[in-house]
Structure 1
Amino acid sequence: MSREVIVVGAGIVGVSTALQLQLRGWQVLLLDRQGAGERTSFGNAGLIQREAVFPHAFPRALGTILHYASNRATEVRYQSSMLPRLGFPFWKYWWNSQPERHRQIARHYAALIGHCLEDHLAVAALAGATHLFRPGGYLQVHRHRHSLEAELEAARYKEEHFGVEYTVLDDAGLQARVPGLQAGLAGGIHWQQPLAVLDPHALTLAYLDYFWPRAANFALLPPQRWKRKARAGVCAARGSV
């Protein structure tokens, strides 16, 4: 049986997916309209988030919904002309974000997140890129007590069900960790397991450099040609490991 696949998009997700498939014996054609890792993966925060076992939920608070609806939030941008087509998907997103339903989905989602550190470290070792990782996790700081309490409730659930590790810091503990931080904060959470990526673009390119020699199978194509190539059954890569 043919084991060929096309991966569209050569950011860190696309390159990682293509490489993992190749390591499992698949022949992979990786497509992008520009150089690998030159869009979102060029300037993202660079965290491999072992603690992120919950997918992002649709907001429940009216104030948060109105904030996003203004289309001025950095987290969400949309085209108003698309809203009529997004009504039903948004409703499904909202329904699946109800607390109990969200926790059920997290059990499946966490299966992907639970081994993200080991998988990245293994591939980075092959690609000679482990120097781009920095252990130690990250600090999540809260100004308000109510937001800290809500996050702590989720943290306890993550620890119990998914093995997430964290410590709680009060304002004094934050000041000791980060001198000069604003005083009077509610506190924070130190998520201990995540890895920081010092240069996300460099990591993407390192993975691609390991992927590429095994087949000439990374193509820069304008978007209008992707569909035409896929319809033609193009899967030109013949290299695998």
Structure 2
Amino acid sequence: MAQSALVLGGGMVGVCTAWHLRERGYDVTLVERGVPGRETSYGNAGLIQREAVEPYPFPHDVLKLAQVALQRGNDVSYRLRDVLAVSPRLAQYWWNSFPSRYQISVAGYEALIRHCLIEHDRMILASGAGNLVARHGWKQIFRTVKGFDEGTAKALALTRRFGVESRILDSMELAREEPALKRTMTGAIYWESPYSVSDPGGLVGRYAASFTAGGGRILKGDARSLRTDGAGWCVDTVDGTVSGEQAVIALGPWSEVVTRMLGYRLPLFVKRGYHRHFGWKGTLNTPMIDAEAGVAMLPMALGLRVTTGAEFALRDAPLSTKQMDGSECLAREMLNLGDPVEATPWLGSRPCTVDMLPLIGQAPSHRGLWFHFGHAHQGFTLGPTTGRLCAELMNGEAPYIDPSPYRPSRFGRAAQA
């Protein structure tokens, strides 16, 4: 008789976990409150980032900290009341960003990122989603000589250390490759290996359809109803209560709601982000991100998607248009944008841990319960990679990469219910 599992959460991470379990013969029910791929996974930059071998650390540079504190830039914003509420976690994030500790996180992060294209390719092929994916990389563009010089040095270091592919473009080369740019930029780093996706939510939907075509089930339900059921777990859905021998919490920024109900006090927080689509008649040969200004410009099926950097705020705090307005102004300096497609910007939350590594593994205090969340900026990139790892651990297989950096028990008493 097939083993059974419940997967809670229909974003990229949850769908990929369900897909990999079903591939191993599990009877899998994925429980999602809405439509798979329409929450956090819908609102990202749509990049599968092979070059993202280093997670985003908390800044230690005094000038950068001052800029953030005074909210002088567009790349980082915050709500003071919310920052105070999560200050102990942000302090841990800052502590883990010191070089010696940060390099430990980099090692664990890179071990996952290096497999992202291979694992996505398997699922793209299985789901017939090739028409959504372009394999042309993206460009990191720079406004200042200082930023360009620092970015170039970092790119060359990453190439030497990790083998990621990049090409340096000076101002004239960038202008030739991207004639739609109105503003003269100092230069760019062309990251050649990553993929870009024209409909991020649509790609998750294709993966979900592949999962159901293979015999999996997707039901609408409330993850907060998760509870033990004999030796297994059950949850309530619109079609009644469903059970599984094992259960996976893959709820992204909502994971803490369920883990706290079960007695865990994990050091989690969110970074929020916004996007909006605009009509336009230009052409970009690749997506572009202006990291200095905190704005990304990405061709999508709905138009040109303009995104923001990070906002430190509680997940359910009211929407603020400040960063999105700033991103729109910056994008209009560079490209001929038309009117916005949506009436209001989209808002989502990135699920973060204080050591910048996801949680992947069995819950320390509950048999048959698995944690799979905390991917921060790279859930869209890493879903197939960590979905495979989680499924291997659940199935008792030898994992294809060392799972120890991601074990939930690394947080000690906070990971005990």
TM-score, length of structure 2 as denominator length: 0.51
Matched, 1:158 2:158: yes
Instruction: Show CA shifts across 1:3-42 (max 9, x none).
Output: 5443332122221222123323444332222111112222
Please give the residue correspondences for 1:94-133 in structure 2 after superposition, counting only pairs within 5 Å. 94-133=94-133
Within 5 Å, give how 1:70-81 maps onto structure 2: 80=81
Change in 2 beyond 3 A, CA 1:28/1:97 = farther
What is the SS of the residue equivalent to 1:7?
strand
| Residue pair 1:175, 1:183 contacting (<8 A) in 2 also | no
Residues 36, 204 of structure 1: 8 Å contact kept: yes
Query: Which one has the bigger helix percentage?
Result: 1
After superposition, residues 23-102 of structure 1 pair within 5 angstroms as 23-62=23-62, 64-65=64-65, 68=68, 80=81, 83-84=84-85, 86-102=86-102
Partner Cα separation in structure 2 for residue 78 and residue 131 of structure 1: 40
Contact between 1:50 and 1:114, CA under 8 Å: does it hold in 2?
Answer: yes
**2-side partners of 1:190 and 1:172: how far apart?**
14
What's the secondary structure of 2:224's corresponding residue? helix
- 1:227 equivalent among 215, 224, 228: 224
Pick closer, same or farther for the CA change 1:199–1:75 going to 2, 3 Å.
farther
| Cα displacement (A) at 1:228 | 2.6
Following superposition, the deviation at residue 51 of structure 1 comes to 0.3
Q: Distance in 2 between matches of 1:189 and 1:62?
A: 26
Q: Which residue is 2:177 aligned to?
A: 177
Asked whether the equivalents of residues 22 and 216 of structure 2 are also in contact (C-alpha less than 8 Å), the reply is: no
1:105 deviation in Å?
Answer: 1.6
Offset, 1:142: 0.4
Per-residue CA distance 1:183-222 (angstroms, 9 max, x = gap)? 5422110000000112112211110011123445322223
Q: Report SS of the residue matched to 1:218.
A: strand
- For normalisation by structure 1, the TM-score amounts to 0.84
Q: Give the conservation status (yes or no) of the 8 Å contact 2:22–2:215.
A: no
Root mean square deviation, CA, Å: 2.9
CA distance in 2, matches of 1:83, 1:4: 42
In structure 1, what residue type is equivalent to 2:228?
R
| Equivalenced residues, count | 235
Indicate yes or no: 2:25 matched with 1:18. no
CA contact (8 A) 2:175 2:184 kept: no
Higher strand share: 2
* Amino-acid identity (%): 32
SS in structure 1 of the partner of residue 243 of structure 2: coil
Which 10-residue stretch deviates more, 131-140 or 17-26? 17-26
CA deviations on 1:134-172 (whole Å, 9 max, x unpaired) are 111011100012222222232122212221000001100
Unmatched 5+ residue regions in structure 2?
235-241, 246-390, 392-417
In the aligned structure 2, how far is the partner of 1:76 from the partner of 1:177?
32
What is the SS of the residue equivalent to 2:149?
helix
